[in-house]
A and B are shown apart, each in its own frame.
Chain A
């Protein structure tokens, strides 16, 4: 984990470069047009610039709060449940949603280049 100071330095100048936005789009699995790259680069920079405001606060000794319920490890008995029993109808409802399917299977394009 970075210290507050180290983390802060990462956000000093949140101006995204054009290769920066391409990297983010790659992570997000979204193909962008040239026009979109320019637009999102500016908009994301502006939002990150606003978020920089959080650095005014000293949070060195603060524990992060990921959720507010206080519930930890909600478990259930390891028993067979019949709530969603698979039959022909449910299979059709689920597999039938796939843009490409054959019988009971979902079809995808080739993973590796031929």
Chain B
């Protein structure tokens, strides 16, 4: 079999032309994983092909895919990259897995991530970091770093990830693939191990925009097991990808290019690794250059570019890092060492089982966030921290609502920098949080966002992602602009 970077369409065509069978394409990927996963650590576990009869009418018939290890696949281990779930066996299929199975997809395995999806580099995994396929000394981004690396290295045709504050879009940007976070409520979260329930959303990481639209067609829809899913009609997201985008209004928030850095707003100031490299604070020059030239490209395609303002943008990160730990402290209270997961053998009383199992099972970041959340929700501090953040969240959503009265989509960077070195930022939690500055506002407002590769940075030579943000439940326009931009960038 040839060395091809297969897309979903390639697999469909290959099967139709009988260039390969379902078994052959699956074993092609298994062999690649056997060969390359040792150096990348993208997969935590792999599966054998489940015997099914593939019907060529199914839209994902025999398409081999990878699943982030916080999504349940019945009868298989699901760790969320945490020691506390090291031996946990899923008791049912997540709704998205059921849907992929009905569409004919086959599952190669489960991918590495930051523990419980808390992180931006996949360094927080209890099972070792994933490496960026473009440079093995660098991180793939996170938290869906294993999924992004697997797609970038062609160890899967597509992958599922989850995005709470950028965890699909940022690793997609770092690894040079497409990553789509759908509107909150578009895709069921049933069977996704919860981090921050008001923000979490499952979405695809793919090799191109067309594939992202194809996978969203399968994932989208109301689910009786997730009452936050919307009862809305689902368009065929691939149908109008080529429809003209001339005259479409594209908003560029001015705040995106004067992004405040965490380092400058805390005391005492401490020089970050990026400052030492002389790249200054906030948005790096190479990312800014690529993003600006991509905006010109959109103008060339006939879009009308308008400067807009998101006045409360600078407060989004602080808001996010109050709401997320609060929801985490509630969601992760289920890990008690009693019903499932790791249990401390040394405990002599019930109360010790809780304290010791959680101490042994959780890594540093979950502990940090659980405690931060417990504090923010505690008596006397609830109003000052949690409630305050929820009020600012409304201001941030209002900013987007006003902006979308004037423009059809909003664009900007995905992340301030390209992929950083493994270990470079892991000692400073706040420096890592800063990675999310352009992606968290989108989750706070519940909007759809996509990261599309827009070339490599001139200094690092590494992939840069271009972020597009759509109106609530208007993935159709978002994907259409993304698709035509992708085609336009190919020609240059």
Residue in A closest to B345 when the chains form the complex, CB atoms? A99
Q: Given A6, A43, A59, which contacts B395 in the complex, CB threshold below 8 Å? A: A59
Knowing A29-B333, A32-B359, A108-B338, say if A54 contacts B393 (CB, 8 Å): no
Instruction: State the Cβ distance, A106 to closest chain B Cβ, in Å.
Output: 6
| Distance between Cα atoms of A71 and B226 in the complex (Å) | 12
Knowing A68-B446, A106-B338, say if A29 contacts B354 (CB, 8 Å): yes
| Distance between Cα atoms of A36 and B395 in the complex (Å) | 36
Q: Is B198 an interface residue (CB 8 A)?
A: yes
B350 x A40 contact (CB < 8 A): no
Chain A residues 82 to 114 lying within 8 A of chain B, measured CB to CB, are: 83-84, 90, 93-94, 97-100, 106, 108-111, 113
A24 x B371 contact (CB < 8 A): yes
| Distance between Cα atoms of A59 and B397 in the complex (Å) | 14
Instruction: State the Cβ distance, B72 to closest chain A Cβ, in Å.
Output: 12
Q: Is A49 an interface residue (CB 8 A)?
A: yes
Q: Is B445 an interface residue (CB 8 A)?
A: yes
Chain B: number of interface residues, binned into ranges: 35 or more
A50 x B318 contact (CB < 8 A): yes
Instruction: State the Cβ distance, B341 to closest chain A Cβ, in Å.
Output: 8
B374 x A111 contact (CB < 8 A): no
A65 x B393 contact (CB < 8 A): yes
Knowing A29-B354, A51-B385, A98-B338, say if A93 contacts B393 (CB, 8 Å): no
Which residues of chain B are within 8 angstroms of A44 by Cβ–Cβ distance?
368, 371-372, 375
Residue in B closest to A89 when the chains form the complex, CB atoms? B91
Chain B residues 212 to 238 lying within 8 A of chain A, measured CB to CB, are: 224-225, 227-228, 230
Residue in A closest to B338 when the chains form the complex, CB atoms? A108
Q: Is B54 an interface residue (CB 8 A)?
A: no
Instruction: State the Cβ distance, B97 to closest chain A Cβ, in Å.
Output: 15
Chain A residues 5 to 55 lying within 8 A of chain B, measured CB to CB, are: 6-8, 10-11, 21, 24-25, 27-32, 36, 40, 43-44, 46-51, 53-55
| Distance between Cα atoms of A92 and B383 in the complex (Å) | 44
| Distance between Cα atoms of A28 and B321 in the complex (Å) | 17
Instruction: State the Cβ distance, B359 to closest chain A Cβ, in Å.
Output: 4
Q: Is B491 an interface residue (CB 8 A)?
A: no
A64 x B390 contact (CB < 8 A): yes
| Distance between Cα atoms of A90 and B74 in the complex (Å) | 11
Instruction: State the Cβ distance, B208 to closest chain A Cβ, in Å.
Output: 29
Instruction: State the Cβ distance, A49 to closest chain B Cβ, in Å.
Output: 6
A54 x B383 contact (CB < 8 A): no
B347 x A24 contact (CB < 8 A): no
Q: Is B265 an interface residue (CB 8 A)?
A: yes
Q: Is B322 an interface residue (CB 8 A)?
A: yes
Q: Is A80 an interface residue (CB 8 A)?
A: no
Which residues of chain A are within 8 angstroms of B429 by Cβ–Cβ distance?
43, 46-47
Knowing A69-B184, A97-B89, A99-B343, say if A50 contacts B262 (CB, 8 Å): yes
Q: Which residues of B contact A (CB under 8 A)?
A: 88-89, 91-92, 184-185, 198, 224-225, 227-228, 230, 262, 265-267, 312, 314-315, 318-319, 321-322, 329, 333, 336-343, 347-350, 352-356, 358-359, 362, 367-368, 370-372, 374-375, 378, 380-381, 383-385, 387-395, 397, 429-430, 433, 445-446, 472
Can you sample 19 A-B contacts with CB below 8 Å? A7-B388, A25-B371, A29-B354, A30-B362, A43-B429, A49-B266, A50-B318, A53-B314, A54-B315, A54-B388, A62-B392, A64-B393, A68-B184, A69-B184, A84-B92, A97-B91, A109-B347, A109-B352, A109-B353
18 further interface pairs, Cβ-Cβ under 8 Å (given A62-B394, A111-B350): A1-B383, A27-B375, A28-B371, A29-B354, A44-B371, A46-B430, A47-B321, A48-B372, A50-B265, A53-B265, A53-B314, A64-B387, A68-B445, A68-B472, A74-B227, A76-B224, A93-B89, A99-B342
